[in-house]
């Protein structure tokens, strides 16, 4: 049986992309917090092997009340690696972004509000939720964050929208981390927007034509449902 390795970095620059894969487990069907301790890694291994690969590169780990999902990309790294190149041509490691409803420690720094929307005809609710998660993680990564804190989840027949805030939690947590989580904002960052401010901003986006009426209705519902 072909050996498959799982990690967050590729072993060499000669690896060939075989396509996206994922491993998931619904809440209640797993107990461990670490995806290595249940069969999500086994699913990644099996999917990679089916595509003819030997390496699964982890892109993100999303965990909430619904369960845990590990998204990754399968690679074939069996080819001979070329000499390592320094400088801008060297591949940059993919930054890991986690998603959850509580911050990992009280030293996290807020970076701003983010949205994730999953919609698509013919997709089931799990696929739409995964699409929303991926957009949420991409938005967090784009502002230099590594954690997406979910505020509210809303949806209708057309899709699912998740509102949240991006955080940078890369700093070492305080030694005494048993105190309640306290967000440490950046010196130039604004305080978290209130419900009134979020609704006002949404109205401005609609008035300027930056979002569709459908997106306006969905996002307004998410904010109101979070009250």
Model pLDDT for residues 90-142, shown as the tens digit of each residue: 555 566 888 888 888 888 999 998 988 877 656 677 777 778 888 888 888 88
- Report yes or no: 136 and 101 within 8 Å, Cβ to Cβ: no
Residue 25 located in a structural domain: yes
Residue 87 located in a structural domain: no
CA torsion, ordered 210, 139, 76, 26, to nearest 10 deg: -110
Q: Is 62 helix (H, G, I), strand (E, B) or coil?
A: strand
Residue 92 located in a structural domain: no
Of all residues in the chain, the percent with pLDDT exceeding 90 is 11
* 102 plus 176 within the same structural domain: yes
pLDDT of amino acid 75:
92
Domain of 65 in residue numbering reads as 5-76
Provide long-range contacts, Cβ within 8 A and 24+ apart, for 27-34. Answer: 27/65, 27/66, 27/67, 28/67, 29/67, 30/67, 30/68, 33/63
- Report yes or no: 11 and 91 within 8 Å, Cβ to Cβ: no
Residue identified by tokens 């996290």 is: 108
* 125 plus 204 within the same structural domain: yes
The CATH number given to whatever domain includes residue 51 is 3.30.110.70
- Report yes or no: 172 and 107 within 8 Å, Cβ to Cβ: yes
Q: What are the residue ranges of helices labelled H in 28-116?
A: 40-50
* 29 plus 137 within the same structural domain: no
Q: What is the mean pLDDT of residues 163-168?
A: 92
* 154 plus 43 within the same structural domain: no
């Amino acid at each position: 049986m072909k050996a498959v390795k799982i990690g967050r970095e590729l072993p060499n620059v000669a690896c060939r992309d075989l396509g996206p894969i994922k491993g998931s487990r619904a809440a209640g069907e797993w107990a461990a917090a670490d995806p290595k301790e249940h069969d999500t890694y086994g699913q990644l291994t099996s999917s990679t092997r089916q595509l003819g690969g030997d390496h699964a590169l982890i892109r993100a780990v999303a965990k909430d009340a619904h369960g845990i999902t590990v998204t990754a990309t399968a690679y074939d790294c069996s080819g001979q690696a070329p000499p390592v190149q320094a400088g801008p041509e060297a591949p940059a490691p993919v930054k890991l972004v986690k998603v959850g409803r509580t911050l990992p420690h009280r030293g996290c720094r807020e970076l701003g509000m983010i949205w994730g929307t999953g919609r698509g005809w013919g997709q089931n609710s799990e696929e739409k939720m995964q699409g929303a998660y991926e957009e949420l993680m991409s938005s967090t990564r784009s502002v230099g964050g590594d954690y997406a804190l979910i505020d509210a989840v809303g949806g209708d027949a057309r899709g699912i929208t998740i509102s949240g805030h991006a955080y940078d939690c890369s700093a070492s947590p305080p030694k005494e981390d048993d105190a309640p989580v306290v967000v440490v904002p950046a010196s130039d960052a604004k305080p978290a927007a209130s419900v009134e401010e979020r609704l006002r901003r949404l109205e401005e986006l609609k008035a300027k034509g930056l979002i569709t009426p459908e997106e306006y209705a969905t996002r307004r519902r998410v904010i109101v449902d979070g009250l």
